[in-house]
Amino acid sequence: MFTCSKMLLLGTLTVCILAFAIGCDQPDDVVTLDSSAYVTLNPERLPSNPEGTMYELWVANETDTLSLGQFGYDYDASNFLTNSNTDRPEEGTFFIGVDIDEYDAVFVSVEPTLNDDETSPASIMLLDLIANPTIELVVPLTDSLWAATLRFNLKSTSDGIDASNDGRSIWFSNFRTTTEALVDTTTVTWTLDSGAYVPDTIIIHDTSVVGITAIVIDSVLEPIGSLDAIDSLWRDIIRFDSVISIDSTDYYPTTLQLTYTTASADFTAERFSQDDFEIPNLQAFGWKYKGWVVSDAIPGAAVGNMTLPAWRFLSPIIEDFDGGLMTTGVFYNIGLPDNDNPFLDTLFRNPPRTPQFPGEDFLTNLPAGLGTMPYLPGNGGHVFISLEPEFYSDSTNFPLIAYIGDMAPFGMIVDARDLGFQLKGMTYTNDAFRGYPIITVTIDKF
């Protein structure tokens, strides 16, 4: 029976499957007396299941899910495996002993080998409707993944205006600078109302007075960018309209006439934006996104190495992958910050200023042996985003690379900061050599 979480998961599954299944030819009437079937899987670009994970085949309808069995997969040998990593006798064929027409969908999930819930899928990886004897399982919302546009920039933010650190950061957004004018109060003068009595015991000096009855804090914009250089010209001003003595029995009210002088100065504003970036949130299917950088500048022994996708040809998309690997963090929504930022410069401002988007400044608390990161002159590497099961956590990526791009050459760091570099989407399924996995499923009823 369904738990509440499973109802939500399969409800989402059904809606999304129906969305991309519209337009497919389906029989008007299905009449069958078959009570059993063999379900055979023919994968393309299916990654070898990482250590600690297994694949599992399921069928489902609106009220039930049924597991047809777990399996591992060896991409290099194209072999199906058992839980003990030996060749599976039935290879890619699975048996279902009930009428498969009672179910609406078939899908493959990724499951943890430890503490797995045997009655419920963990992360639904590939799916389709059971509409014909031959169907194709694809990653949920593949069309939306492929239509997305993603960029990254290398502007360091948490270190204030220290441009020398640009290139040691990765933020998944556009970045641009604009020149804007700031108007603020520079001086305040006042005169006393000549008709009011002021006792000698009340001393007025600077902007400190006795018995303030009304104050207004002047609007002040926190210095940004080049404005830091003229910070001394801008100050917090306390505005007050009247001052009353602390003993109204002995003293008359005293009124101040105030005059404010203002000035304008140009400053450089930093603008991080997502523009039209749109990638679907796949959390309902049990998935998260994770940003990464792999670079020769990173010692692999200190942090980990990249796990390659199940592609027949890596070049020219992935050429420099032998360096170390570090993550920028986990996120679900490209328009919100990711889960953690352990490497920010927290000394300059606390809390540090960062864009409201996924990414990281690699400035402090780096692993032992890791210096300038992620860029060093003469070093190659890549920036990429992987799709990861919700339960999966490792020093390396899950082998589903959604978007990838080259690390910026030294001479283009400023361009990357001001314009952003585009990441290439790798979620398509119509290329025999690279892209996301697909499984052709053949159903033989008897």
User: Is residue 74 predicted with pLDDT exceeding 80?
Assistant: yes
Is the pLDDT at 225 greater than 50, yes or no? no
The pLDDT of 178-192, averaged and rounded, is 71
Mean pLDDT, range 254-280, rounded to an integer: 74
At residue 278, the pLDDT reads: 82
**Alpha-carbon span 141 to 216, nearest angstrom:** 53
pLDDT, residue 281, reads: 94
The pLDDT value recorded for residue 243 is 43
Say if residue 182's pLDDT is above 60: yes
Whole-model pTM over 0.85: no
Tokens standing for residue 31: 């009449």
pLDDT of res. 350: 65
Residue 61 has pLDDT above 70, yes or no: yes
Mean pLDDT, residues 212-235:
36
List strand residue ranges (DSSP E) for 346-437, in order: 359-361, 381-389, 401-406, 421-425
pLDDT-based confidence at residue 431 (cuts at 50, 70, 90): very high
Please tell me the predicted confidence (pLDDT) of residue 433.
94
**Placement of tokens 């996301």 in the chain:** 436
Greater confidence (8 vs 158) lies with 158
List, for residues 301-343, the tens digit of each pLDDT value.
Answer: 778 899 999 999 999 999 888 888 999 999 999 989 999 899 9
Q: pLDDT tens, 341-390?
A: 999 987 766 677 888 899 999 988 888 777 666 665 556 789 999 999 99
Share in percent of the chain as helix, strand, coil (round to 5) = 10, 35, 50
- Give the pLDDT band (50/70/90) at residue 437: very high
pLDDT exceeds 80 at position 68: yes
What is the model's pLDDT at position 37? Answer: 94
Listed as own residue / partner, the contacts of 405-412 with beta carbons closer than 8 Å and 24 or more positions apart are 405/152, 406/380, 406/381, 406/382, 407/293, 407/295, 407/320, 407/374, 407/375, 407/379, 407/380, 407/381, 407/382, 407/383, 408/154, 408/167, 408/375, 410/167, 410/375, 410/377
**Beta pairing partners, 126:** 108
- Where in the chain are the domains? 4-138+437-445, 146-173+274-425, 177-271
